[in-house]
A and B are shown apart, each in its own frame.
Chain A
Amino acid sequence: MAQTARPLSPHLGVYRWQITMTLSILHRATGIALAVGTLLVIAALLALAAGPESYAQVHGFCASPFGLFLLFGWTWSLCYHLCNGVRHLAWDAGWGFEIPRTYVTGWTVVIASVVLTILVWACVLTRGAA
Chain B
Amino acid sequence: MSAADLQTPLKRARGLGSAKSGVHHWIVQRVTAVALIPLCLWLVYLVLAAMNADYAQARALVHAPANALLLIAFVLAVFWHAQLGLQVVIEDYVHTRWLEIASQLAIKFFCVLGAVACVLAIVKIALA
Contact = CB atoms under 8 A, between A and B. Distances in A.
Partners in one complex: yes
Interface of A: 4, 28, 31-32, 34-35, 38-39, 41-42, 45-46, 48-49, 52, 55-56, 75, 78, 82, 85-86, 88-89, 92, 120, 123-124, 127-128, 130
B3 interface: no
B59 A48 contact: yes
B82 A85 contact: no
Range of interface residues on chain B? 20 to 34
B89 interface: yes
B85 A35 contact: yes
B33 A42 contact: no
B84 to A, nearest CB: 10
A49 B48 contact: no
B121 A49 contact: yes
Nearest to A34: B82
Interface of B: 30, 33-34, 36-37, 40-41, 44, 48, 51-52, 55, 58-59, 62, 71, 75, 78-79, 82, 85-86, 89, 95, 114, 117-118, 120-122, 124-125
A118 to B, nearest CB: 13
A45 B52 contact: no
Given A31-B86, A45-B117, 4 more contacts: A41-B75, A45-B75, A55-B55, A86-B37
A91 to B, nearest CB: 11
A127 B36 CA distance: 26
A41 B78 contact: yes
B85 A56 contact: no
A82 B78 contact: no
A127 B48 contact: yes
A35 B33 contact: no
A85 B36 CA distance: 10
A96 to B, nearest CB: 16
A128 B33 contact: no
Contacts of A89: 30, 33-34
A122 to B, nearest CB: 11
A91 B48 CA distance: 32
B51 A124 contact: yes
A41 B40 CA distance: 12
Nearest to A28: B89
Contacts of A45: 62, 71, 75, 117-118, 121-122
Contact of A32 (B30, B51, B59, B89): B89
